[in-house]
Amino acid sequence: MTELNKIAHKILEKGKGILAADESTGTMTKRLQSVNVESSAKNRILFRETLFSSKGTSDFIGGVILYDETIRQNSSDGKSIPNLLSEVGSIAGIKVDTGAKQMAGSPDEKITEGLDGLRERLKEYSKLGAKFTKWRGVYNISKKYPSKLSIKSNAHALARYAALVQECGMVPIVEPEVLMDGNHSADDCFNKTSEVIKKCFEELVLHKIDLSGVILKPNMILAGLESKNQISNEDTAKLTVKCLRESVPKEVPGIAFLSGGQTEIQATKNLNLINKFNNTNFIMSYSYGRALQQSALKHWAKDTQDIKGTQAVFDHRAKMCSLAAQGKWSSELENK
């Protein structure tokens, strides 16, 4: 087992998953404004520290993806955020792309930027305590999209990113997200997601990536949000497992799903069923942002000093996600 493989397993083993707390300052501002809390650096770190120091993080979160601002901040008692996470048994990660921008040659699609200067930034993040990283490519679905240009360009960028990350001794999370927006069918999502993931791994192999030291962060197979032909949770789970079984090389240790706009309960229920139908050797867990934090954020917004109450809400959500990552979740446990 290589060092990278050990890190990947530590993040996802024993029903643990990833907390995606890597919202940019702009996104975090929108989240806080939606619950009528001022988006100051002090409030941003207060909310995040409340989650990071919780029993839920200690018991159920193997890794936390941070944003550039957060990895440089200290907790209320002066510890660096990576040290705080290490003390509760979680690993610090860092989002390293600089965002999805309009693609030249296909202006309705996006290409993720951030390769310039990445090698130097990775060295700095490693010194700050990061052990893994994240880069997100995004793909639209429609009759025309994603185009071959988008699929190839984003796969190439993800592979170049992953090569630099492994060179620096960190685990890359590869996140090719096929968006839920649109009226496409689940079959369209299955076909496009399969094509996107296969192209990503083709490029990763070409760039000599150690696949045993990679975590894949894909979308689940769902019909578009505006589609009249929604499918059952069981069909989502079966199609998702089929897609990954046929598209992901066996060397990859784990898959951590994004929630992609699903509600907390939807994301938990679907993950649980995926694990019930999981006939692969992949660990199938979670890398959720809103689907782990939303209820805790709403509770915290009522009284930002109610640390214990906020943590209790988060602990429950994290426990439910962990049970789902083991195929042990139920609505009875959810509502206890």
Catalytic residues: 175, 217
Q: Are 236 and 221 in contact (CB under 8 A)?
A: yes
Residue 94: both structure tokens together: 């860092």
User: To which H or E segment does residue 242 belong?
Assistant: helix 233-247
Cβ-contact 195, 220 below 8 angstroms? no
Q: Whose structure tokens read 């938990």?
A: 268
Cα distance between residue 66 and residue 86, in whole Å: 13
Query: Measured between alpha carbons, how far is 34 from 31 in angstroms, rounded to an integer?
Result: 5
Residue 74 CB neighbour total at 10 angstroms: 13
94, 138, 146, 149: which is closest to 112 by C-alpha?
A: 138
First to last CA, the chain: 40
Helix, strand, or coil (residue 178): strand
- Determine the Cα–Cα distance for residues 12 and 7; give it in Å rounded to an integer: 9
Contact status, residue 38 vs residue 32, Cβ threshold 8 Å: yes
What are residue 178's DSSP bridge partners?
A: 139
